[in-house]
Structure 1
Amino acid sequence: MDIPYLYDAGALIAIDNDDRRMWARHSPALKDGRDIHVPSVAVSQAWRDPRRQVRLGKFLAGCRVVPVGLETAKAAGILCGKAGTADIVDATAVVMAAGLGAIIWTSAPDDIRTV
């Protein structure tokens, strides 16, 4: 079984900007039938104008957008406190990826390493 992927907001922004490296990672994952997860808060961070983000909208159709439940939200808050950061979206991505055993795809690996 393939390890699932989890995309953070940076990955979504990269797709929205037509980043070739991100597409090169995503296309084979779709072909392989890999589970691709996106925290709903990452969508909130990346989504601004549906008229100009048609590409991102189509991209998200191939992903499982996961709502953030109470326990995940609490764990992300605790992680922020321990890491000394206020970026709850990155912390949420880390918590969700850990729970899924997923690989996080991001355009800002230093931000993810912080949490």
Structure 2
Amino acid sequence: MILDAGFLISIDRNERSAHAFLTAASRSETALHTTQPVVAQVWRSGARQARLAAFLKTITIHPLDDGRPVGQLLAQTTTSDVIDAHLAITAVHLGDDILTGDPNDLSTLSTALGPASPTVHTWP
């Protein structure tokens, strides 16, 4: 499962719904991922974000190293959110779904990816 910024913010805020999701993910042995650009969206101060820092150590964080496919997807969908497009491309590479609090752009981006498109789940 690919996590967007909304979920990471929920972890940082110590929200119960995030902990319930993590318990379910652990029980089902679901691998959790995010991307470096998503981390950049939510990271502000390591001293104040101990929970988030600890959580980030437990998941796989993918770099933004596929700029051309991301740009092509943005052009194809006439959208502009590089971070969402990167999440969609990463999900395709991993064969995983996406968990997001804002499904609008991600649904458009995902649909444009055709048969390989990831399923977009809404959080919370």
| Residue 31 of structure 1, CA deviation | 4.1
Alignment of 1:23-34 (within 5 A): 23-34=19-30
Residue 27 of structure 1 aligns with an amino acid whose one-letter code is T
Partner of 1:36: 32
Identity fraction in percent: 33
1:18 pairs, out of 11, 14, 36, with: 14
Unaligned 5+ runs, structure 1: none
Distance (Å, rounded) in 2 between the aligned partners of 1:18 and 1:98: 29
Partner of 1:103: 97
Between Structure 1 and Structure 2, how many residues are aligned? 109
TM-score (norm 2): 0.78
Structure possessing the higher relative contact order (Cα contacts under 8 Å, 6 or more residues apart): 1
Distance (Å, rounded) in 2 between the aligned partners of 1:10 and 1:114: 18
Residue 104 of structure 1 aligns with an amino acid whose one-letter code is I
Unaligned 5+ runs, structure 2: 110-124
Partner of 2:74: 80
TM-score (norm 1): 0.83
Q: Single out whichever of 83-92 and 8-17 deviates more from structure 2.
A: 8-17
2:61 pairs, out of 58, 65, 80, with: 65
Distance (Å, rounded) in 2 between the aligned partners of 1:73 and 1:112: 17
What value does the CA root-mean-square deviation take over the aligned residues? 1.6
